[in-house]
Structure 1
Amino acid sequence: MRYAIQPSNISEYTFEVEPAWYQTIWFKLATIIAGLALFGFCIFAYLLFQQRQKTRNEVAKKQKLQLELKALYAQLNPHFLFNCLSSIQGLINQQDFRGANEYLTDFAQLIRGLLTNSAKEETPLQQELQTLEMYLKLEKLRFGFSYNIGIDMSIDLSAISIPSLLWQPLVENAVKHGVATLEASGRINIFINKVDDSLVIVIKDNGKGFNALKLQSGLGLRLAQERIERLNELQNGQPIELTFNSNFEHGTEIILTFTHWFL
């Protein structure tokens, strides 16, 4: 400080000016932290919204696929029942009334089993085998062929499940397009094996074979293939594969592979 009348006389004083609260370093740090927290919260909220939207879309897609599967299953049952009723009609036309009565008794048991499992997406392999053997028994009464079912002893049939009636159209084709005209010389072999962690079902017949591309336009096989497509969209890392090996001299082999089914 310098007085006007004594400019040579200088006085010095030391003092400190406190900054305003919004000028403090702590406020600035708190503002930065709060800004980063808000930015992080916005990112988290956006990602959460995206994830929930994705989950909703996945659930909607899964529900849609499940409804499509139920629709295909509902179509498959009438197709299966129609074939059984056609077999009964064939016995009646042949005046084989005893065979028709036996067929009707077994058919009633078969229908009961189908109704029991109709609401299930998957059925224990043991029950599926019972249904399959009942069907083959019924068709054998009409066409007179023989059949054999070989099962890998390492498979616990009650502990593993497969989609209901998925293999039924494949066996029907082995009967109708393979051994139906061969009568007693016709033979169907079905093998159920465990290969690594996969379930492999092989259906063989000794018929004349068929054009797989042409036959796949039939209702039963088309429904089976559409079901497999839908199931593969739903399954996570457990795809189902259907392959045909047809030889016009040595019959047909159909392979149904349930990949990683034992995991």
Structure 2
Amino acid sequence: MNAQNFESADRYSPLTYSSGDVHLPEFRRTTIGLALVFWAIVLVTDSVLWGIAGSSLGKSMIGKLALTGLGALLAYVVSAILWRLRNRSLLLKAGVGLCLAALSAPVYAYADFEIFRWTAYPKPAPFEWLIFGTTLTSATAMFFGWSCLYIALVYTYEAREREHRLAMVREEALAAQMQALRYQVNPHFLFNTLNSIAGLIEEGEVLRAERMTLSLSTFLRATLELDPLRDVPLEVELGLQQEYLGIEQERFSDRMCFSINVPAEVRQALVPNLILQPLIENALKHGVGRSSELTEIRIKAWRDDETLWITIENEIGSSSGEPMPTSLGIGLKNVADRIQARFGYSGYFNARVAEGNLFRVKIGLPLMFGDIGDHVV
């Protein structure tokens, strides 16, 4: 499901990171495992080649093990040097790896000859430059191959660490953004409600203003106790909005009513807390507040496969003579931003004038159930 009709999209500037240390314990285990496989293959290959050259398997085994151990030791030195160069350019590391392979190969090739001569005794095993050159070439390729494998391994783990750090930074940024958007909602609501109370006082409705003030205190206490980064069941969210609508009904008792049509199967679905608050405020401002006639606010929710759909509808009042709004206000924009920041392309937001002068806001959220603590931004 694609996100549609967002008022604005958050744009993130690219983040860059310098290469840091990889997760060393896991990296060491992987390196040791790779080295064991690599030198086991070398041991098997040498056994075959020495058998072709006339060396017996039993007598040459100690020699082959000693040669393989020497090769592993040289590879360890090569790896230690390349590790110190891990933050340098790939071209430099490849060049150093080739040089180290060229330096290690003669040592390995000469040791190969001496061990072979020992295992072949009492048969003569004269030094032959052709055989030595062949061994030298294969040893150079072998150590350079190990260097390339090690460089690739370091690069892979560094890339994984960078991705992990980037994910953590993005998660922290998302949490901060969600919290900021949540706190933009509360002052907006408080401003509207205090204006309502002031209006009642100006009209001489002191008892209604007192009831509204007490209801406001209860509502604010409930909302401020909510963790802005934790989801709440839809039933709790609807309860808060009913409390808010009850507050506003003190002011608009003669021209406001509301209905909530939400089946039991989705009432325990988790939603970001106060996600409906700006939508209700918008319906009051551009619906009830602009009309002298009875205006109904309709809240509806339902499940479609793995998506929770919620709509809020109201007639757009026109008796005040004010022009009809042509763009989203800050409240609706905050909801669109919260959905996009939290769910990305899995969320949906659409606000438009539907049939006649009916204004409809529709949001879609991934359907989630479970304990409140299980879903944290």
Task: Give TM-score, length-normalised by structure 1.
Answer: 0.79
Q: CA RMSD of the aligned region, Å?
A: 2.8
Name the stretch that deviates more: 25-34 or 75-84: 25-34
Structure 2, unmatched stretches of 5+, are 1-122, 370-377
CA distance in 1, matches of 2:326, 2:142: 67
Letter in 1 for 2:349: L
One-letter code of the match for 2:305? D
| 2:332 equivalent to 1:221 | yes
Structure ranking higher in helix proportion: 2
Residue 138 of structure 1 corresponds to which residue in structure 2?
247
Task: Say if 1:192 and 1:202, in contact at 8 Å, map to a contact too.
Answer: yes
2:188 maps to 1:82: no
Aligned to 2:157: 48
Deviation at 1:180, TM superposition (A): 2.7
Q: Match for 2:275 among 140, 153, 166? A: 166
Asked if the contact 1:211–1:246 (Cα under 8 Å) also holds between the matched residues in 2, the reply is no
Write out per-residue CA displacement over residues 178-214 of structure 1, whole angstroms, 9 at most, x where no aligned residue.
1234466211110011111100001011233885643
Contact kept, 8 Å, 2:215 with 2:247, in 1: the verdict is: yes
Superposed displacement of residue 248, structure 1: 7.9
8 A contact 1:243–1:256 mirrored in 2: yes
* Residue type of the alignment partner of 1:206: E
**Equivalent residue of 2:265, what SS?**
coil
Q: 1:56 Cα deviation (Å)?
A: 1.3
**Runs of 5+ unmatched residues, structure 1:** 1-13
Matched residue, 1:202 = 311
Report the equivalent of 1:261: 367
User: Are residue 147 (structure 1) and residue 258 (structure 2) matched?
Assistant: yes
Distance, in Å, in 2 between the alignment partners of 1:168 and 1:261 is 20
Summarize the alignment of residues 1-263 of structure 1 with structure 2, pairs less than 5 Å apart: 16-17=125-126, 23=132, 32-144=141-253, 145-155=256-266, 157-158=267-268, 160-182=269-291, 185-208=294-317, 211=324, 213-214=326-327, 216=328, 218-233=329-344, 239-247=346-354, 249-258=356-365, 260-262=366-368
Task: Work out the CA distance in 1 between the residues paired with 2:350 and 2:191.
Answer: 26
Q: Bigger CA drift: 83-92 or 179-188?
A: 179-188
The structure where strand makes up a greater share of residues is 1
Equivalences, count: 240
Distance 1:225 1:15 in 2: 85
Contact 2:283 2:313 in 1 (8 A): yes
Alpha-carbon distance between aligned partners in 1 of 2:213 and 2:293, rounded to the nearest angstrom = 22
Identity %: 24
The alpha carbon displacement at 1:150 in A equals 0.6
Question: What is the CA–CA distance in structure 1 between the aligned matches of 2:195 and 2:341, rounded to whole Å?
Answer: 30
Per chain length, whose mean CA-contact separation is higher, i.e. which structure has more relative contact order (CA < 8 Å, sep 6+)?
2
Q: Letter of the aligned partner of 1:154 in structure 2?
A: E
The CA distance in 1 between the partners of 2:288 and 2:358, in whole Å, is 9
How far did residue 130 of structure 1 move?
1.2
